Amino acid sequence: MRLLRLLLALLLGLALAVRPAYAQSGLRDAETEAFLDDISAPLAKAAGLAPGNLKIILINDPSINAFVAGGQAVYINTGTILKADSVGELQGVIAHEIGHIVGGHVPLAGSNTSGMTSMSLLSLLVGAAAIAAGAGEAGMAAMMMGQSAATGKYLAFSRAQEASSDAAGLRFLRDAHLSGRGMLSFFNKMRTEEYRLSPSYTTIDPYMQTHPMSADRKERLTGDVEASPWFSVPEDPAQMARLKRIQGKLAGFINDPPQTLRTYPERDASEPALYARAYAYHRGAYPQKAVAEVDQLVTLHPHDPYYLELKGQILLEGGKPAEAVPPLREAVTRSGNSPLIASLLGHALLATEDPKNYAEAQQVLKLSVARDEDNPFAWYALGTVYARQGDEPRAAMATAERHSLTGNPRLALASAEMAMRGLPQGTPDYLRAQDIALASRGIMEQGGRRRR
């Protein structure tokens, strides 16, 4: 019985390994998302994806990793961005992941995992029957052999997909007139990670890995990378500057403040360092120091939307919402109406508790959710402004949207039904509430069937 439980646990672990997105925490940032969209756009075009369809989703995880989990979305860890030495390295990572999307590897992986599970379960049943018949050793051997065969099949399939995506990614880089040097240098980082995770590097069994060994991947691609007419294309200095300041921003936001201040000491007057320290001081509850750092940034670039956004955020979260409104207003305009910044402006307008600001708050929040409907914070703020204006049905509808996004179908259903009772039938708001109610009820019924 103990062996059976162990094998089933191994099967479950392998099944979960191909669904990494569900175990990770997303991170939203307007500047980082805009940067990732900009550097991935030529790759998406080269891959034949429709403009605007590719989504780059940031994951708050310090490790080097990126993956796809269905649809046209690439998930990339903050650790990958923080440890990148060039924009080309990030583009190499993204190009590889687009290769998985174009190759349809997620659906294929699901099919292969299903076959692996069937093979493993069959070996478990055969082994259990042998044990029941008194052939204990033979039964255990059958179980282990079946598990080993299933695992080997899955890993070989995964390595083949990775090699295919490497080749596709290099093709996308070439067709986008981008150098593949970053892809090669990133393999060096991954090789270092392999050494770090396994000090006895020579003992790693390459046939028990989901990916080909990084050294082998680099060797396989080097000739094609160097043969590309775009091999010697230099890094774009403006894009490199954007990467450096985003790295400072992410370090200040994610890392503990003392760590950030060691990495970016006060003697460092560069923009990335000012950016990092502003976030570190803000997180460490030193609002005056945070404002001083961000004021230096705003002095350097008075109309930079992301510096203005940070100043507004610090003022808002420091209990000064009225002072936060002007920089956030300009940040929204200068960013081309970024929905994330608009949601922050809406929150600041609400936090003033001045009824004169509610109409503007409603306007900017409706714009925010119209352009980015997957932001629970914006729906929460919009529901609040509707409630303060006495529009309870639309407040309930916004609340239903929020609960739907945060995975609470029971509360989403209750709020949607409340909204439907007060909204005119047939209107867009009524129909949307009806959709949420139907979807939430279906999720609840499906969950009930699984429990039975």
Predicted pLDDT of residue 104:
78
* Cβ contacts of 241 within 8 Å, gap of 6 or more: 271
- Quickly list DSSP for 162-192: HHHHHHHHHHHHHHTT--SHHHHHHHHHHHH
Domain-wise residue ranges, the chain: 2-227, 236-285
Q: Does residue 75 carry a pLDDT above 50?
A: yes
Residues 397-421 have a mean pLDDT of: 96
Is residue 70 classed as helix, strand or coil in its secondary structure?
Answer: coil
Q: How distant is the alpha carbon of residue 349 from its chain centre?
A: 29
| 420: Cα separation from own chain's centroid | 33
Q: What is the pTM of this model?
A: 0.80
| Mean pLDDT, residues 415-422 taken together | 97
Higher pLDDT, 91 or 136: 91
User: CA separation (Å) from 348 to 322, 344, 372, 408?
Assistant: 7, 6, 19, 27
Sign of CA dihedral 277, 279, 282, 288: positive
For the ranges 48-52, 195-199, 424-428, 438-442, the lowest mean pLDDT is seen at 195-199
Q: What is the pLDDT of residue 22?
A: 39
For residue range 108-137, list pLDDT tens digits in order.
444 444 444 444 444 444 444 445 555 555
How confident is the model at residue 25, as a pLDDT?
79
pLDDT per position as a tens digit, 215-252: 778 778 888 889 999 999 999 999 999 999 999 999 99
Which of these, 397, 386, 404, lies nearest to 432 by C-alpha position? 397
**What's the longest Cα–Cα distance across the chain?**
82
Q: Edge-to-edge strand order for the sheet containing 73-77? A: 55-59, 73-77, 66-68
3-state secondary structure 132-153: HCCCHHHHHHHHHHHHHHHHHH
What confidence score (pLDDT) does residue 334 get?
97
How does residue 195 score in pLDDT terms, banded at 50, 70 and 90? low
Mean pLDDT of 45-74: 91
Pairing of strands 73-77, 55-59: parallel
How many other β-carbons are positioned within 10 Å of the β-carbon of residue 134?
Answer: 8
pLDDT in tens, 281-310: 999 989 999 999 999 999 999 999 999 999
Q: Which pLDDT value is given to residue 295? A: 97
Each residue's pLDDT tens digit, 344-378: 999 999 999 999 999 999 999 999 999 999 999 99
Inform me whether the pLDDT recorded for 88 exceeds 90: yes
